[in-house]
Chain A
Amino acid sequence: MNIVVCIKQVPDTKGGVKFNPDGTLDRASMLAIMNPDDKAGLEAALRIKDETGAKVTVLTMGLPKADAILREAMAMGADDAVLVTDRVLGGADTWATSTTIAGALRNLDYDLIITGRQAIDGDTAQVGPQIAVHLGLPVISYAEDIKVDGDSVVVKRQYEDRYHVVKAKMPCLITALSELNEPRYMTPGGIFDAFDKEVTVWGRADLKDVDDSDLGLKGSPTKIAKASDKVPKGAGEKVNLDPTESVNYLMEKFKEKHII
């Protein structure tokens, strides 16, 4: 059985966010990590590998430095790695990103594709389901448990107030929640091996059945009209009144804000 896990290199938002003097994000000075939901997806794939001997391939689209997360994935136990990188792919929205990744996936054998639910930089949760559309696969989003059962997968699919146990025939695509598991560490031996292994690098020419008009900034239906860093929160109003007046004051504010 072949599993492909799509992973993304993202800036670590947990360690705090830094801005350049011009107010844009200072990505260079922030730590780059494997996106947490993707890492859970990778761990799920590796557990299936432990049980069934499946082959696990990791694939990312990004800058050449995204090689680092592919090595990390191999040090955790992934067998193969693919880096899709090309200048013409830059500036992509989720439509163009999913088109690109689907174009790369068409070159690979897969029974199961796993992506994270969402990346912590864009927070859209769109790329996984959109890849499934491009490849004509069933999609199960928000997986908190994945089991292989013969030629099917059985997945616990999370909703706000419930979960569904859902069964799909392979090939299919699953988006993983970070709650799914506790990802394993890299092993020292694994790290050495990971750096001896070859990462397959693909560019635009290697994407199968993809139109130029669907790639990169040019192929993105959504356009950024304006971007700014969030204004730091300042102090609001402070009042020193007797208790009844304080309550009246707050109730007025709630009415203004349509809270009540």
Chain B
Amino acid sequence: MGLEEYKGVYIYAQQVDNKLSDIAFELVGKAKELAADLNTEVTAVLLGSNVKALATELGEYGADKVIVVDNPALETYRTEPYAQALVSVINEYKPEIMLVGATAIGRDLGPTVSARVKTGLTADCTKLEIGDFPINAMPGQEQKHNQLLMTRPAFGGNTIATIACPDNRPQMATVRPGVMQKLPKEAGRAAEVIEFNPTLEENNRYVEIMDIVKAVGNVENIMDAKVLVSGGRGVGSAENFEMLRDLASCFKGGMVSCSRAAVENGWLAQDYQVGQTGKTVRPQIYFAIGISGAIQHVAGMEESDLIIAINKDEDAPIFDVADYGLVGDLKKIVPQLTAALKEANADA
């Protein structure tokens, strides 16, 4: 079969407990851009049991079509029935691109499906675009157009690679959660819903789920935080860390962390320390508040996607790694920033 028979940008719409995961909307958002470049549509693939109602939400966030596989075997995530269902969708509808979230589910489902349909899969992409492969025309090699160019960090984030899958379809990628933007919700926008009922064959690869244990909320690990509001010597006291907690609470997945100075002063436990002798963190946003930015601290946070420093000393080395640096009094800036964010959240 020719590669040109494969059409459309598809995303795997992950749901857990019959609730769509944020990554599903983020993937729809990115898929819309790719589909616009390819002049095609975005199809969300929804697998589960009694999940049809979720198709409405996918439509409101931009999906043009939703393929629903509704089957009691898909009630809780298990590799085998989910892989069978997604492989059946791919074989039946032949997508050109298939995006999956790089979650604990997607990083199991993605490789299982790509190996079964024998195609390429690029892991944990941070950038996706449509372009030519090879990027620059090379003599003696056909340059293919409208390819998915998948960019990802590798080697512990020290290299960046752009990868293509020119000869196999679908072009598959898992995408890091939180990297792509979801579109604004458009109430009433509806997707075409297609019900698809492939036979899911129970075989030796089925596993039995004996127990499901949901994590208790009070076990905090700053390495899991999406946003870290980190305080140092300049915060001044344990009480002043309340300001930082308020700021952290404005962000989903926000937590407080600190520098070694704050631990030595007894303001926070060592579990919250970032740096060479503490933890290495890579949140999407890292606030360095009242932290001078010694190399031992910077070593633990310089890979954060966005670094914001607030410090009264304008020569503090933290400003050398900060994307946005505010010179000023943290005790005045932080409460005002918290108030502004709360207001913005209330409007959203």
A246 to B334, CA, bound (A): 10
Cβ contact within 8 Å between A243 and B104: no
Nearest to A246 among chain B residues (CB) is B326
Q: Which of A239, A240, A260 has the most CB of B within 10 A?
A: A260
CB pair A227–B322 under 8 Å, yes or no, is no
Within 8 A of A (CB), among B84-124: 103-105, 107-108, 110-112, 114-116, 118-124
Asked whether, in the complex, the Cβ of B322 is within 8 Å of the Cβ of A238, the reply is: yes
Q: Decide if A222 touches B164 in the complex (CB within 8 Å).
A: yes
A137 adjacent to chain B (CB < 8 Å): yes
Asked if A94 meets B121 with Cβ closer than 8 Å, knowing A138-B79, A225-B149, A242-B328, the reply is yes
Q: Is A22 an interface residue (CB 8 A)?
A: no
Nearest chain B CB to A145's CB is how many angstroms away? 12
Contacts between the two chains (Cβ within 8 Å), count: 240
Known contacts A160-B103, A235-B319; decide if A249 and B326 are in contact (CB<8 Å). yes
Q: Which of B103, B156, B160 has the most CB of A within 10 A?
A: B156
Chain A residue contacts of B118, Cβ below 8 A: 95, 221
- Interface residue A187 (Cβ < 8 Å from any Cβ of B): no
On whether the beta carbons of B213 and A162 are closer than 8 Å, the reply is yes
| Stretch of B46-54, B190-198, B203-211 at the chain-chain interface | B203-211
Q: Check B324 against A237 for contact (C-beta < 8 Å).
A: yes
Q: Is A163 an interface residue (CB 8 A)?
A: yes
In the bound complex, CA of A259 to CA of B285 (Å) = 9
| A contact residues around B340 at 8 Å (CB) | 247-248, 251
For the complex formed, measure the closest distance between the CB of A174 and the CB atoms of chain B, giving whole angstroms: 11
A160 and B161 alpha carbons, distance in the complex (Å): 26
Chain B residues within 8 Å of chain A by Cβ, number = 83
In the bound complex, residues from chain B placing their C-beta under 8 Å from that of A1 are: none
* With A167-B210, A225-B133, A235-B319: A130-B111 Cβ-Cβ less than 8 Å: yes
Let me know if A33 is at the binding interface, CB within 8 A. no
- Listed in ascending order, the chain A residues whose CB lies under 8 Å from chain B are 11, 13, 17, 25, 93-95, 98, 120-130, 132-134, 136-142, 154, 158-169, 172, 220-230, 233-244, 246-251, 253-254, 257-260
Chain B residue with minimal CB distance to A127? B111
Interface membership of B168, Cβ < 8 A: yes
Pick the most buried of B154, B167, B302, B319: most chain A CB atoms within 10 A of its CB: B154
Of B124, B166, B328, the residue contacting A246 (CB under 8 A) is B328
Would A260 and B124 count as touching, CB distance under 8 A? no
Given contacts A95-B114, A221-B165, contact A243 B124 (CB under 8 A): no
CB pair A240 B121 closer than 8 Å: no
